[in-house]
Amino acid sequence: MRFSWDPVYGVFCYWKIRNGPRAHFFILEVMQKASPKLQKIVRNVVEPMGYELVGVEYLSGYQGGNLLRIYIDKENGIDVDDCAAVSHQVSGVLDVEDPVPGQYSLEVSSPGLDRPLFEAEDFQRFVGHKVNVRLDASIGGRRKYKGQLLGVEDDQILVEVDGEVYPLFMEQIQEARLVPEF
């Protein structure tokens, strides 16, 4: 198995080469924030149902296909019936609007204890909490930051790691999540 950095997608890829007749298997999973159009369509379904739309992700190459993942929340938490209701409504609208090319799987989920953070408002809401942040590309040889979220300034978040404050640009964040504290 071999790993390499894909500068086009900003992800690490891996592939397997089998001995004998040469067969190359290239597996690429690309997670990206959903387009503004898709987010708006989903928001217009989810919010009138009484849920908070936490975020929408689109993963291409997920287990051989594509995955549209929607995170929802509400004051008293989410259960399976909430996910099923939202999935049913969103699925109907997506079938009509057809904003996602090709086939995909739809997944509706609670954000979980390691809640993903998507927008500046999410980061502002959770100032003071511990976060895990992964960047698209390394800055000074570092891509991952785990520390205290200090705030949001302009288009940057401030994360304190081991006593040092790192300003990280929002557009460089590949993924950010809360770190559950018990």
CATH code, 120-178: 2.30.30.100
Q: What is the b/e burial string over 53-74, where b = at least 16 CB atoms within 10 angstroms of the residue's CB?
A: bbbbbbbebbeeebbbbbbbbe
Q: Is the pLDDT of residue 20 over 50?
A: no
* CA nearest to 55, candidates 3, 46, 64, 129: 46
CA distance 153 to 167: 9
Across residues 138-145, what is the average pLDDT? 92
* pLDDT score recorded for residue 31: 55
Across residues 120-131, what is the average pLDDT? 96
Q: What is the pLDDT of residues 44-74, one digit of tens each?
A: 999 999 999 999 998 887 666 789 999 999 9
Q: Where in the chain is the domain with CATH 3.30.300.70?
A: 30-109
Q: Is the pLDDT of residue 24 over 50?
A: no
> What are the backbone dihedrals phi and psi of residue 81, each rounded to the nearest 5 degrees, phi first?
-65, -35
Across residues 105-129, what is the average pLDDT? 95
| pLDDT bracket for residue 147 (50, 70, 90) | very high
| pLDDT bracket for residue 169 (50, 70, 90) | very high
| Greater pLDDT, 44 or 3 | 44
Q: Is the pLDDT of residue 143 over 70?
A: yes
Percent of the chain surpassing pLDDT 70: 80
Q: Is the pLDDT of residue 112 over 50?
A: yes
Q: Where in the chain is the domain with CATH 2.30.30.100?
A: 120-178
Point out the least confidently predicted range of 25-34, 154-163, 165-174. Answer: 25-34
Across residues 111-133, what is the average pLDDT? 96
**Residues ≥6 apart with Cβ < 8 Å to 38:** 56, 58, 68, 99, 100
CATH 3.30.300.70 fits 30-109, yes or no: yes
User: Is the pTM value of this prediction over 0.85?
Assistant: no
